[in-house]
């Protein structure tokens, strides 16, 4: 079974059957204005914040066949009535002759044919703009002239997205719509909750005369809503009721008579859904985007953005699925996670409980550095302002208000209200940013800590370097009975919530990695004293981990408050955890022998054809002492599911022990593009990584969920480009240190780095995994594997011979 194909030349995935197992989505715009569009034209759009300023009402829990947020109806004159259908298949579900949803870079284009009418709708948000455009072309592909009406429809939500669902008293009494009619016959239908009338209005408009409109859902569907979205009774009438809603469920439906369309003829019409402080303020840009050339130009600009973005790193390897992911879809997913963190998707609903995640966004930054360093820096600044004065960090924050919160730990009075890992990820993100850009001045930038006085002024500020130092100092202080870092409410593995006093080996190793970064940075800054101090701390923690955490064949994952190990062969369930094996390698705490053994245990006990499961065996029953992890059945999510985020950590660890064959095997087995031809098991989009796949203990082994917003995107991108292909930004320049499958003859990479382009050819005549024998730059052999940062705007030819 297949639902579509990759069109590599257009950098699209094309869905050809709208009945995908779950909605397959795409993102348009950015967090500043945008959201997601599903493959049947439904859209969830918001401005700056999906929780506090949402525009369209999209309820993912409704059946796939239901209207969600936006659609388009067409009706064809037939005698005294009409044939009504949606070119998006949903919600009318008419039989189609052709259906294509082109999932593009920042746009979705739906091309369909129903009843002799071809409709092509391109949905996008112009760069930096606050409107979503739907560029609609209706072509008569039948042999006969036909009279066509087009009725695009939007359903609004209250901007406070949670309130829409929790308060059916206040919300409907406040929602209002008002029409603004222009002399030309063009119309703008505005919408707002009463209190925002003077400050923030949504608008829906088009560049074609509107003969009538509707803004009340009850009237549009008809008969007190015993009419339906599949069959809105108002569209059986010649005109809509021109009603300006004073309350209730607000929609915007605009009826356009496109007239009689001759065979072969096309009509083009573009709608705009946007938000501004006032209609007056919105009008100039509305008028601008009513011109077809302006729409075309905006679309080209979007394409140019993606051309540039992707041009920074392009690869050519012996594996076509790797190429299509690394050249297009993986960096694109990284940009989406940078924007939306874990805030808004089909699975993360932006309804209050989740916001921007501290650890999530810090890791997302790792995936965009070659292409969007400035955006990464801006997000880093926001993150560091969510750090506490004591060096720990709040777990999440609201992007609009910058109010931070303690995440799920709020729900447990008896537990710590911090996560032991959050603040450490930011150290990794800052150093990765510095290595990419060489912008060491960033370390001196002064940013506030989160605590405020009564007037909302920050109590204290510090340089970026100070923020980093405090992060390390926090973990150094915050240790438990064994001298290992306390778990806090949780570490990276969110739902393992142990009673206060538990210690985390993940945090110990993450701390080790962060210390290595600080040592390297201190040397770079010629601060030998700091380097020495961090080295001593590193050695101390390394000793503790190696004395306490080795279980015989793998590493222990936690110590409970009473000293009981978790992730040990002595446990009944949860004997081995995957992240517990990857991180001692990444931290450098593992000896080579233990690293090998730990990775062999992963292969033997956790690996499956669909990816490496997080832990085994699964916990079979709820256990409040272990927390959320035991709310899942064995094989689901963090309870022994394939939690993909961890897989690239193992890939990196394998490259660190020099095993390029295993690294690539693990890479390929989770590459979603390889599942396109057997998608019935996987179900999610084959063009992005999902967060989780059901593990081998679950009867539905192989079923993916929670696509798009996952740390998998950034980490797989890093694992593949920096560790398998081995192109690494360092303080001194661009390092080339591949660890590839032996059978590869080589590969090519084009990488832009600090203002120069490196055209790299790696040759593998001896069929080895790694080991650089010779590097030539522009025909000259250099010593070592680090190519200098030329910063001269030129392209440099680099040849690397392995052996």
Please choose, out of 160-168, 267-275, 488-496, 605-613, the segment that lies near ligand NOJ by the rule CB under 6 A. Answer: 488-496
Instruction: Judge residue 14's burial from the number of C-beta atoms within 10 Å of its C-beta, 0-12 exposed, 13-18 middle, 19 or more buried.
Output: middle
CB nearer ligand NOJ, residue 160 or residue 360: 360
CB nearer ligand NOJ, residue 137 or residue 382: 382
Q: Residue 437: count other Cβ atoms within 10 Å of its Cβ.
A: 19
Using the rule CB under 6 A, which residue among 360, 466, 503, 785 binds ligand NOJ? Answer: 360
Instruction: Provide the minimum distance between the beta carbon of 342 and ligand NOJ in the complex, in angstroms, as a whole number.
Output: 4
Instruction: Provide the minimum distance between the beta carbon of 206 and ligand NOJ in the complex, in angstroms, as a whole number.
Output: 39
Q: Who's near 286: CB < 8 A, 6+ residues apart?
A: 131, 188, 203, 205, 272, 274
Instruction: Provide the minimum distance between the beta carbon of 492 and ligand NOJ in the complex, in angstroms, as a whole number.
Output: 4
Please choose, out of 282-290, 461-469, 490-498, 795-803, the segment that lies near ligand NOJ by the rule CB under 6 A. Answer: 490-498
Please choose, out of 215-223, 330-338, 492-500, 729-737, the segment that lies near ligand NOJ by the rule CB under 6 A. Answer: 492-500
Site for ligand NOJ in 297-356 (CB under 6 A): 342
Number of residues that bind ligand NOJ (CB under 6 A): 8
The residue among 250, 53, 61, 68 whose CA lies nearest residue 171 is: 250
Q: Who's near 117: CB < 8 A, 6+ residues apart?
A: 74, 76, 87, 138, 139, 140, 141, 142, 146, 148
Site for ligand NOJ in 88-107 (CB under 6 A): none
712 touches ligand NOJ by CB under 6 A: no
Instruction: Provide the minimum distance between the beta carbon of 494 and ligand NOJ in the complex, in angstroms, as a whole number.
Output: 3
Handedness of CA 707, 708, 711, 714 (dihedral sign): positive
Instruction: Provide the minimum distance between the beta carbon of 360 and ligand NOJ in the complex, in angstroms, as a whole number.
Output: 5
705 touches ligand NOJ by CB under 6 A: no
Using the rule CB under 6 A, which residue among 350, 357, 438, 738 binds ligand NOJ? Answer: 357
Site for ligand NOJ in 635-664 (CB under 6 A): 638
Instruction: Provide the minimum distance between the beta carbon of 53 and ligand NOJ in the complex, in angstroms, as a whole number.
Output: 22
Q: Is residue 358 within 8 Å of 490, Cβ to Cβ?
A: no
The torsion region of residue 42 among left (phi > 0), alpha (psi -120 to 50) and beta comes to beta
Q: CA of 429: how far to CAs of 33, 258, 324, 369, 731, in Å?
A: 25, 53, 26, 9, 14
Helix (H) or strand (E) holding 221: helix 217-221
DSSP single-letter state for residue 752: E
Q: CA of 241: how far to CAs of 20, 77, 126, 645, 746, in Å?
A: 36, 19, 32, 52, 67
Using the rule CB under 6 A, which residue among 364, 478, 494, 551 binds ligand NOJ? Answer: 494
* Nearest residue to ligand NOJ, scored by beta-carbon proximity: 494
Instruction: Provide the minimum distance between the beta carbon of 637 and ligand NOJ in the complex, in angstroms, as a whole number.
Output: 8
Instruction: Provide the minimum distance between the beta carbon of 148 and ligand NOJ in the complex, in angstroms, as a whole number.
Output: 46
| Backbone Cα Rg of the chain | 28
Can you say how many angstroms the Cα of residue 772 is from the centroid of all Cα atoms in its chain?
Answer: 34
Using the rule CB under 6 A, which residue among 215, 493, 537, 707 binds ligand NOJ? Answer: 493
Question: Which residues are tagged catalytic?
Answer: 494
3-state secondary structure (DSSP) of residue 138:
strand
Site string for ligand NOJ, 600-639 (x = CB under 6 A): --------------------------------------x-
Euclidean distance between CA atoms 363 and 369, whole angstroms: 11
492 touches ligand NOJ by CB under 6 A: yes
CB nearer ligand NOJ, residue 249 or residue 579: 579
* Sequence-ordered alpha helix ranges (H) in 457-574: 464-477, 505-524, 528-548
Q: Return the bridge partners of 150, or none.
A: 74, 256
Euclidean distance between CA atoms 672 and 668, whole angstroms: 9
Q: Residue 413: count other Cβ atoms within 10 Å of its Cβ.
A: 7
CB nearer ligand NOJ, residue 134 or residue 359: 359
Please choose, out of 143-151, 264-272, 489-497, 527-535, the segment that lies near ligand NOJ by the rule CB under 6 A. Answer: 489-497
CB nearer ligand NOJ, residue 250 or residue 405: 405
Which residues of the shown chain bind ligand NOJ in the complex (CB under 6 A)?
A: 342, 357, 359-360, 492-494, 638
């Amino acid at each position: 079974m297949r639902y579509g194909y990759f069109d590599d030349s257009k950098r699209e995935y094309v869905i050809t059957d709208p009945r995908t197992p779950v909605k397959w989505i795409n993102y348009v715009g950015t967090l500043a204005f945008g959201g997601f569009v599903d493959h049947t034209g439904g859209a969830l759009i918001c401005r700056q914040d999906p929780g506090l300023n949402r525009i369209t009402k999209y309820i993912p829990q409704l059946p796939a066949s239901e209207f969600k947020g936006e659609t388009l109806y067409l009706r064809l004159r037939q005698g005294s009535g009409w044939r009504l259908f949606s070119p998006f298949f949903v919600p009318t579900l008419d039989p189609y002759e052709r259906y294509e949803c082109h999932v593009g870079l920042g746009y979705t284009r739906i091309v369909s044919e129903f009843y002799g009418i071809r409709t092509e709708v391109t949905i996008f948000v112009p760069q930096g703009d606050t409107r979503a455009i739907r560029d609609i072309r209706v072509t008569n592909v039948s042999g006969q002239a036909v009279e066509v009406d087009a009725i695009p429809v939007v359903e609004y939500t209250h901007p406070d997205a949670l309130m829409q669902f929790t308060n059916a008293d206040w919300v409907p009494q406040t929602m209002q719509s008002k029409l603004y009619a222009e002399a030309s016959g063009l119309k703008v239908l505005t919408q707002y909750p009463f209190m925002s009338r003077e400050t923030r209005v949504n608008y829906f408009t088009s560049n074609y005369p509107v003969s009538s409109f509707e803004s009340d859902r009850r009237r549009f569907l008809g008969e007190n809503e015993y009419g339906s979205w599949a069959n809105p009774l108002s569209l059986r009438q010649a005109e809509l009721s021109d009603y300006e809603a004073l309350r209730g469920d607000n929609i915007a439906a605009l009826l356009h008579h496109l007239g009689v369309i001759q065979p072969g003829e096309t009509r083009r019409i573009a709608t705009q859904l946007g938000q501004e402080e006032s209609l007056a303020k919105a009008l100039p840009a509305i008028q601008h985007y009513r011109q077809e050339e302006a729409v075309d130009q905006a679309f080209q600009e979007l394409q140019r953005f993606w051309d540039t973005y992707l041009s920074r790193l392009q690869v050519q390897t012996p594996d076509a699925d790797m190429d299509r992911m690394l050249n297009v879809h993986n960096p694109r997913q990284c940009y989406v996670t940078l924007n939306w963190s874990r805030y808004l998707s089909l699975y993360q609903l932006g309804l209050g409980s989740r916001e921007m995640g501290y650890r999530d966004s810090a890791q997302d930054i790792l995936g965009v550095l070659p292409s969007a360093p400035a955006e990464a820096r801006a997000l880093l600044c926001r993150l560091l302002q969510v750090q506490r004065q004591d060096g720990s960090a709040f777990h999440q924050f609201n992007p609009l208000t910058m109010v931070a919160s303690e995440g799920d730990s709020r729900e447990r009075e008896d537990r710590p209200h911090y996560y032991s890992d959050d603040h450490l990820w930011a150290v990794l993100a800052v150093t990765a940013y510095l290595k990419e850009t060489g912008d060491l001045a960033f370390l001196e930038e002064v940013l506030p800590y989160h605590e405020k006085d009564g007037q909302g002024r920050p109590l204290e500020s510090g340089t970026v370097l100070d923020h980093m130092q405090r992060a390390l100092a926090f973990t150094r202080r915050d240790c438990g009975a064994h001298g290992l870092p306390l778990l806090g409410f949780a570490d990276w593995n969110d739902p393992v919530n142990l009673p206060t006093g538990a210690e985390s080996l993940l945090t110990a190793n993450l701390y080790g990695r962060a210390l290595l970064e600080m040592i390297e940075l201190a040397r770079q800054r010629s601060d030998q004293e700091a380097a020495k101090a961090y080295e001593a701390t590193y050695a101390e923690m390394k000793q503790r981990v190696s004395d306490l955490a080795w279980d015989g064949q793998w590493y222990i994952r936690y110590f409970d408050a009473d000293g009981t190990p978790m992730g040990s062969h002595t446990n009944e369930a949860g004997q081995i955890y995957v992240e517990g094996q990857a991180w001692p390698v990444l931290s450098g705490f593992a000896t080579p022998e233990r690293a090998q053994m730990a990775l062999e245990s992963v292969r033997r006990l956790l690996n499956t054809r669909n990816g490496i499961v997080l832990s085994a065996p699964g916990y079979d029953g709820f256990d409040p002492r272990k927390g959320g992890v035991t709310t899942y059945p064995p094989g689901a999510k963090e309870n022994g599911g394939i939690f993909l985020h961890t897989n690239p950590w193992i890939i990196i660890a394998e490259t660190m022990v020099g095993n390029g064959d295993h690294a690539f095997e693990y890479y390929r087995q989770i590459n979603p593009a390889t599942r396109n031809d057997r998608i019935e098991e996987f179900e999610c989009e084959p063009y992005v990584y999902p967060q989780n796949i059901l593990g081998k203990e679950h009867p539905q082994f192989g079923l993916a969920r929670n696509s798009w917003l996952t740390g998998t995107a950034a980490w797989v991108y890093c694992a593949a480009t920096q560790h398998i292909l081995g192109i690494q930004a360092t303080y001194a320049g661009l390092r080339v240190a591949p660890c590839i499958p032996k059978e590869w003859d080589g590969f090519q990479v084009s990488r832009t780095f600090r203002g120069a382009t490196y055209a790299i050819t790696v040759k593998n005549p001896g069929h080895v995994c790694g080991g650089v024998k010779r590097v030539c730059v522009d025909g000259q052999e250099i010593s070592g594997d680090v190519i200098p940062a030329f910063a001269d705007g030129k392209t440099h030819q680099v040849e690397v011979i392995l052996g």
